[in-house]
């Protein structure tokens, strides 16, 4: 797929009105990830309690409790069914309500949290510092599908195993994917237990050994939660798919490369993937990302079928999102050192299949998508060193170890290592839109009975 090795020019900064200010002062800082223009959703409870989970909204360094706001009558301008969805213990009902409901809720929250609102005193009672919140998964996920949408990732990994044919022909024809396991999904900060399984101890071995994975890896991805979805047998058209995108998150598709290498022929990933997939707790709305919408980075291809072709009016199907990967080892934590940035990429440059195309392809055979289902973008990898979205690429399959600032080296993850994934949109004249952290720490494999 030629033309993907260089970055397209970024759009010129757009003129915009002065940003709205919130009475929550931490939301007004220039470096605030959650300004008033953002308002990401989450599911949380006060830390250290067995309180019922409730929906929250990120504002500055606080989380705004929608269940309490509902009880105080602060959401009475909303339709009754939307108010009930705000009081639920998960986001599924809000996702099912669609984009119009999302916009109505954002408008009501903007009024409540804007500087000068007459309801500031009652609204202030709905705030909890994010540091005092424990987060749950944002939704009850019925199904999870992970795609392969980065040409650079496909080429880099394929070059390790098939140097003469690194990118298989189907990549240019359709969004490649596998059906993940929803039970593997965990929220940020939950420990990730090193998986066990069969693998070859050396490439030339014909027999396998059983034990803890020796090639544990991360994958930097973005995820999309499905909104209303479709009825069985009814495909979602590519230019109508945006109406079925409820929001975005950061996703770490943990991978046991040695298990995966052995089991993936001929049917694909299984034990190498289904032990854990970590999600950030925040759901970023399409409305918050709208100022950062750009054209999908994909050259024209005669292989593209009509059902995957964006109309000219909907070519702006991607978003200018910066992704970052940080690694903190056990030694670094003991010495009080911060996690080290090891990779950064640009989603709009490095992903060549849009989420709308993924949805269109997912449903073209009549498959049902339901509110709260999750789609992963696949690893976000760039074309240059330091933009790769996993250790498999960063270390060239372990042949070029990564050297950290404290002198430690890594080919794959060791017990005690912590991976922190983040993403954000930032451009002069526009509000910063942060995605929050997707954090996971590796703990030893479970002892066998």
Contacts of 366 (CB under 8 A, 6+ apart): 232, 233, 234, 235
pLDDT at 5 over 60: no
Segments making up each domain of the chain, as ranges: 25-135, 144-443
- C-alpha distance across the termini of the chain, in Å: 50
What mean pLDDT is predicted for residues 176-183?
95
Instruction: Check residue 10 and give its pLDDT.
Output: 38
Top pLDDT among 2 and 1 is at 1
Give tens-digit pLDDT for 256-266.
999 999 999 88
Instruction: Check residue 17 and give its pLDDT.
Output: 54
Give tens-digit pLDDT for 277-309.
999 999 999 999 999 999 988 766 777 999 999
Considering the domain 144-443 in this protein, what is its CATH number?
A: 3.90.850.10
Q: How confident is the model at residue 314 (pLDDT cuts 50, 70, 90)?
A: confident
Q: How confident is the model at residue 12 (pLDDT cuts 50, 70, 90)?
A: very low
Instruction: Check residue 310 and give its pLDDT.
Output: 93
Instruction: Check residue 18 and give its pLDDT.
Output: 64
Give tens-digit pLDDT for 88-141.
999 999 999 999 999 999 999 999 999 999 999 999 999 999 999 999 999 999
Give tens-digit pLDDT for 135-162.
999 999 999 999 999 999 999 999 999 9
Instruction: Check residue 302 and give its pLDDT.
Output: 72
Backbone angles phi, psi at 434, to 5 degrees: -95, 150
Instruction: Check residue 203 and give its pLDDT.
Output: 86
Active site residue ranges = 153
Structure tokens at 184: 């593997």
**Of 129, 354, 351, 106, which Cα lies nearest the Cα of 242?**
354
What mean pLDDT is predicted for residues 266-271?
90
Structure tokens at 266: 């001929």
Q: How confident is the model at residue 315 (pLDDT cuts 50, 70, 90)?
A: confident
On whether the CB atoms of residues 200 and 258 are closer than 8 A, the answer is yes
Q: CATH topology of 25-135 equal to that of 144-443?
A: no
Structure tokens at 215: 């090639």
On whether the CB atoms of residues 119 and 108 are closer than 8 A, the answer is no
Query: What is the helix (H) or strand (E) element at residue 43, kind and residue range?
Result: strand 41-46
Helix (H, G, I), strand (E, B) or coil at 397: coil
Q: How confident is the model at residue 271 (pLDDT cuts 50, 70, 90)?
A: very high
What mean pLDDT is predicted for residues 70-78?
97
Instruction: Check residue 113 and give its pLDDT.
Output: 98
**Of 387, 378, 360, which Cα lies nearest the Cα of 4?**
387
Instruction: Check residue 442 and give its pLDDT.
Output: 98
What mean pLDDT is predicted for residues 79-88?
97
Structure tokens at 2: 């030629």
Instruction: Check residue 9 and give its pLDDT.
Output: 37
What mean pLDDT is predicted for residues 24-44?
97
pLDDT at 275 over 60: yes
Instruction: Check residue 312 and give its pLDDT.
Output: 86
On whether the CB atoms of residues 361 and 308 are closer than 8 A, the answer is yes
pLDDT at 81 over 50: yes
On whether the CB atoms of residues 369 and 362 are closer than 8 A, the answer is yes
The secondary structure of the chain in percent helix, strand, coil, rounded to multiples of 5, reads 25, 25, 50
What mean pLDDT is predicted for residues 209-227?
98
Q: How confident is the model at residue 20 (pLDDT cuts 50, 70, 90)?
A: confident
Superfamily in which the 25-135 domain is placed by CATH: Fumarylacetoacetase, N-terminal domain (2.30.30.230)
Percent of the chain with pLDDT over 70: 95
DSSP letters spanning 106-167: HHHHHHHHBTT-TTHHHHHTTEEEGGGEEE--SS--S-EEEEE--HHHHHHHHHHH-TTS-S
Distances (CA, A) of 262 to 205, 341, 414, 430: 11, 31, 21, 47
- DSSP annotation of 236 reads P
What mean pLDDT is predicted for residues 397-403?
97
Contacts of 114 (CB under 8 A, 6+ apart): 20, 21, 22, 23, 36
pLDDT at 364 over 90: yes
pLDDT at 267 over 90: no
C-alpha–C-alpha distance, residues 35 and 20, integer Å:
9
């Amino acid at each position: 797929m030629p033309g993907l090795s260089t970055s397209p020019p970024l759009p010129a900064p757009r003129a915009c009105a002065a940003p709205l200010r919130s009475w929550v002062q931490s939301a007004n800082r220039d470096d605030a990830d959650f300004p008033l223009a953002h308002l990401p959703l989450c599911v949380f409870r006060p830390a250290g309690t067995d309180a019922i989970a409730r929906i929250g909204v990120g504002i500055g360094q606080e989380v705004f409790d929608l269940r309490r706001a509902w009880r105080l009558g602060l959401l009475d301008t909303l339709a009754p069914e939307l108010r009930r969805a705000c009081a639920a213990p998960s986001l599924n009902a809000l996702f099912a309500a669609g984009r119009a409901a999302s916009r109505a809720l954002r408008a009501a929250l903007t009024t409540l949290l804007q500087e000068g609102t007459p309801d500031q005193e009652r609204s202030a009672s709905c705030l909890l510092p994010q540091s005092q919140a424990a987060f749950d998964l944002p939704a009850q996920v019925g199904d999870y599908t992970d795609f392969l949408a980065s040409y650079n990732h496909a080429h880099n990994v394929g070059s390790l195993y098939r140097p003469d044919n690194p990118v298989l022909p189907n990549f240019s024809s359709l969004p490649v994917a596998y059906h993940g396991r929803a039970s593997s999904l965990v929220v940020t900060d939950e420990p990730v237990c090193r998986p066990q399984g069969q693998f070859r101890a050396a490439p030339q071995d014909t027999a396998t050994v059983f034990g803890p994975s020796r090639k544990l890896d991360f994958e930097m991805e973005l995820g999309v939660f499905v909104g209303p979805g479709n009825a069985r047998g009814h495909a979602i058209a590519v230019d109508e798919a945006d109406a079925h995108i409820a929001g975005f998150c950061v996703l770490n598709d943990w991978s046991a490369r040695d298990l995966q290498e052995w089991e993936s022929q001929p049917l694909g990933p299984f034990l190498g993937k289904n032990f854990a997939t970590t999600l950030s707790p925040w759901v970023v709305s399409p409305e918050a990302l709208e100022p950062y919408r750009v054209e999908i980075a994909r050259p024209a291809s005669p292989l593209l079928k009509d059902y995957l072709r964006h109309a000219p009016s909907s070519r702006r199907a991607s978003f200018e999102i910066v992704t970052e990967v940080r690694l903190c080892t056990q030694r670094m934590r003991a010495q009080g050192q911060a996690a080290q940035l090891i990779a950064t990429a640009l989603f709009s440059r490095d992903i060549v299949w849009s989420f709308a195309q993924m949805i269109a392809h997912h449903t073209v055979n009549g498959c049902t998508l339901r509110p709260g289902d999750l789609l992963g973008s696949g690893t976000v990898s760039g074309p240059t060193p330091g933009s790769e979205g996993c250790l498999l690429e960063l270390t060239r399959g372990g042949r070029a170890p990564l050297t950290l600032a404290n002198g430690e080296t890594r080919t794959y993850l060791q017990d005690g290592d912590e991976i922190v994934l983040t993403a954000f949109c930032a451009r002069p004249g526009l509000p910063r839109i942060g995605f929050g952290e997707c954090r996971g720490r590796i703990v030893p494999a479970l002892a066998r009975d």
